[in-house]
Structure 1
Amino acid sequence: MTPEDDAPIDAAAAMRLIHEQQASTVRGLEPDPRVHYWPWGFAWLIGFGVYFLRFSPDGRTIVAMPAWLPLTVLFVLLVAAAVVFGVGSARAYRHVAGESARRGRWYGTAWGLGFFGLSVVIGRVTDSLPPELAGLLWSALSVGLTGALHMAGGAIWLDRTLYRLGVWLTAVNIVGVIAGPGWHALVVSVAGGGGLLVAGALARRRHG
């Protein structure tokens, strides 16, 4: 066999090596998808679950606890999830610049301004509502905005998992609102938090 006979095989092996190195580089630059989904999934699963146990449908209480505790638990878990996500993303994207970095900054700003504006608007109207409807309004609009922003992120980065998760969270939110106060927290806890955990597992499997 002449050296010329080995050339195609060597070229194919070289191309495979190049593709493997490219894939390895991409994985190294992208954050572990579980950092994006799982902190929020556990926060929703536990936080809204505790809320349901205290503020169940028809004014019932499944587990006796101070009225301030469920919201405190949910808030603390959401802040912890934001910190974990922020630190993980900062470490993964610290070497990324250009258009991708700009998209990430603008998208993150949209989250911050969106929820700030939502808080201001809801804060102006909840005083005139019964407590159970005020709680439903807060949680429903927050989950609704989360679903919309996930769909927007999926469209920006052509990420099917992110977009489908946004659709799922939107559907879950609608079902919860129709079910009414108390039930909404349970639906968001199980189907919303569980959906985030499943999305993280599926994204991780594709991430390799």
Structure 2
Amino acid sequence: MDPEDDQAPADPLALIERERANLVRQIAPDPRLMYWPWGFAWLIGFTLFFLRYGPDGRVYVDLPDWLPLVVLMLLFIAAGITTGFAGSRSVRRTSGPTSRAGRLYGISWSISFFSLSVLFGRIANDLSEAQAGLLWAGGMVALTGTLHMAGSAIWQDRQLFVLGAWTSLINILGIAAGPGWHSLIVAVGGGAGMIVAGFLGWRRLR
């Protein structure tokens, strides 16, 4: 038997796999645009919170009280616009269940965060300033990790699950450490985790 006969059937399969990979690269959003804006937002924003509202009320840098929150919100808005634009371009290139799943997943983020905001707004006034800050930050980070893991089930993306699990782990460690330390742990661990995830996702697409 000619050895080439055994190789021939594999060629069409290799061609199909290669074309599938090319299609994914064409329609998938750039992971750097999806992760890096949020990664740098967490890294910069939560670092400012740590510097201004450190452990046990310590002030490492005497920043205006309003500055960390304003900077974090502006960075979140910029990140949301960037990822929304990148994601919408990908959705426009697809149709059917995939496109619908993307829209519903995006809407789920908005509804979930709004729901928690309403809840925390009702009970935060009954807590001290430090504990209220930990409630807001810990709750929002917990929701982010959960939605990442849920997204991994939708998109069959193992890396997204790892990122969600990692985000949940550092959030638990930060909450256990207490106010101030939570900001530092989330800034370094969470921000760096998203930056690394964006880089690895970009390499995988290449």
TM-score, structure 1 normalization = 0.92
Deviation at 1:25, TM superposition (A): 1.8
Match of 1:36 in 2: 34
Paired-residue identity, % = 50
Match of 2:188 in 1: 190
Task: Within 5 Å, give how 1:121-200 maps onto structure 2.
Answer: 121-200=119-198
Describe the superposition over 1:111-165 as per-residue Cα deviations: whole angstroms up to 9, x where unpaired.
0000000000000001111101010100000000000000100111111010111
Alignment of 1:93 onto 2:91:
yes
Is this contact kept in 2: 1:31–1:93, CA < 8 A? no
Alignment of 1:46 onto 2:44:
yes
**How many aligned positions are there?**
204
* Partner amino acid, structure 1, of 2:164: G
Deviation at 1:93, TM superposition (A): 2.2
Is this contact kept in 1: 2:91–2:102, CA < 8 A? no
Match of 1:104 in 2: 102
Is this contact kept in 2: 1:40–1:196, CA < 8 A? yes
The unaligned stretches of length 5 or more in structure 1 are 1-5
Describe the superposition over 1:163-182 as per-residue Cα deviations: whole angstroms up to 9, x where unpaired.
11111000000000000000
CA distance, structure 2, for counterparts of residue 22 and residue 150 of structure 1: 25
Is this contact kept in 2: 1:52–1:185, CA < 8 A? yes
CA distance, structure 1, for counterparts of residue 147 and residue 205 of structure 2: 22
CA distance, structure 2, for counterparts of residue 18 and residue 155 of structure 1: 25
TM-score, structure 2 normalization = 0.93
Larger Rg: 1
Residue 104 of structure 1 aligns to a residue whose secondary structure is: helix
CA distance, structure 2, for counterparts of residue 22 and residue 168 of structure 1: 30
Match of 1:66 in 2: 64
Deviation at 1:20, TM superposition (A): 2.7
CA distance, structure 1, for counterparts of residue 10 and residue 69 of structure 2: 59
CA distance, structure 2, for counterparts of residue 161 and residue 124 of structure 1: 35
The unaligned stretches of length 5 or more in structure 2 are none
